[in-house]
Amino acid sequence: MTQKVAVLGTGKIGEALLSGMIGAGWSPADLLVTARRQERADELRARYGVTPVTNAEAAKTADTLILTVKPQDMGTLLDELAPHVPADRLVISGAAGVPTSFFEERLATGTPVVRVMTNTPALVDEAMSVISAGTHATAGHLAHAEEIFGAVGKTLRVPESQQDACTALSGSGPAYFFYLVEAMTDAGILLGLPRDKAHDLIVQSAIGAAKMLRDSGEHPVKLRENVTSPAGTTINAIRELESHGVRAALIAALEAARDRSRELASGTKD
């Protein structure tokens, strides 16, 4: 039986999902999209061959609804969808900090909800998507969500109680690396390198280090020690990082991100 999937609020992440699913073999005829602007809907139709519909039409027609609007817009969207969503529809939320209970309270009793926290590397099919089941979601629903988000990267199942921590580490994670690259580029300029050369050196070093972390099976401490010669340049740099409290600052930053995710879940938006 053909499964129809609708992506509601198709921004950058929603479009990345569409592209990944089609690349993984999904038929554009089975994919529906909604967009706030007609021009955006027309663009998606022209680019991917998918069918633009209204939110209500998506709720009535699709077997799976993927909600990719901003957290602060989710309540309004659910108010619009609730009269049209049968209890056998799978609802997948990609909104940071919004618990599955928020959806279950507003939709028909028994509606299966799966919560997914993905990140912006979905745009290059290298996402890390963390998946949790709501009260009525089954193993089959989780597998279906994994199939969808596996088209744009890796997936990991966790209890929903760990979602805020995963948001801090992975959902926001790319920004920390971009921030680090920005700082290292500035350092390269201070050391006398042109910006473009500093950028290329750092980016390739980051790609190589990430592949070593992924593929070698070695602990990061071991990999770091392999670069750190006695009385060499690397240990001097690490001494400065430690003396400036970089490790403690990272831990505090991730705790702050986790706490903000909890605030969003409790309804604190400002």
pLDDT tens digits along 15-25: 999 999 999 99
What rounded mean pLDDT belongs to the chain?
Answer: 94
Is pLDDT of 2 > 80? no
* Stretch 2-11: mean pLDDT: 91
pTM above 0.85, yes or no: yes
Of the pLDDT bands very low, low, confident and very high (cuts 50, 70, 90), residue 168 is very high
Q: What pLDDT does 269 receive?
A: 47
Q: What pLDDT does 49 receive?
A: 97
Residue 58 to residue 146: CA distance in whole angstroms: 21
Query: In the chain, pLDDT over 90 holds for what percent of residues?
Result: 91
Residue 221 to residue 212: CA distance in whole angstroms: 12
* Stretch 181-190: mean pLDDT: 97
Residue 35 to residue 56: CA distance in whole angstroms: 12
* Stretch 168-180: mean pLDDT: 96
Q: Are 50 and 62 in contact (CB under 8 A)?
A: no
**Paired sense of beta strands 113-117 and 127-133, if any:** antiparallel
Q: Are 83 and 58 in contact (CB under 8 A)?
A: no
| Neighbour tally for 12: CB within 10 Å | 11
Q: What pLDDT does 267 receive?
A: 64
| DSSP characters over 101-113 | HHHHTTS-TT--E
Of the pLDDT bands very low, low, confident and very high (cuts 50, 70, 90), residue 176 is very high
Of the pLDDT bands very low, low, confident and very high (cuts 50, 70, 90), residue 213 is very high
Q: What pLDDT does 268 receive?
A: 42
Is pLDDT of 42 > 50? yes
Residue 196 to residue 193: CA distance in whole angstroms: 8
Q: What are phi and psi of 254, to 5 degrees?
A: -70, -35
Q: Which pair of tokens denotes residue 23?
A: 């690349």
Collapse the DSSP code of 2 into the 3-class scheme (helix H, G, I; strand E, B; otherwise coil) and give the result: coil
pLDDT tens digits along 107-148: 999 999 999 999 999 999 999 999 999 999 999 999 999 999
H helix intervals, the chain: 12-23, 38-48, 55-61, 74-81, 100-104, 139-149, 163-166, 173-190, 195-215, 220-227, 233-243, 246-265
Q: What pLDDT does 262 receive?
A: 85
Q: Are 205 and 180 in contact (CB under 8 A)?
A: no
Q: For the sheet containing 127-133, what is the strand order?
A: 51-52, 31-34, 5-8, 64-67, 90-93, 113-117, 127-133, 153-157
| Neighbour tally for 224: CB within 10 Å | 13
Residue 98 to residue 119: CA distance in whole angstroms: 15
pLDDT tens digits along 222-268: 999 999 999 999 999 999 999 999 999 999 999 999 999 888 777 64
Is pLDDT of 85 > 90? yes
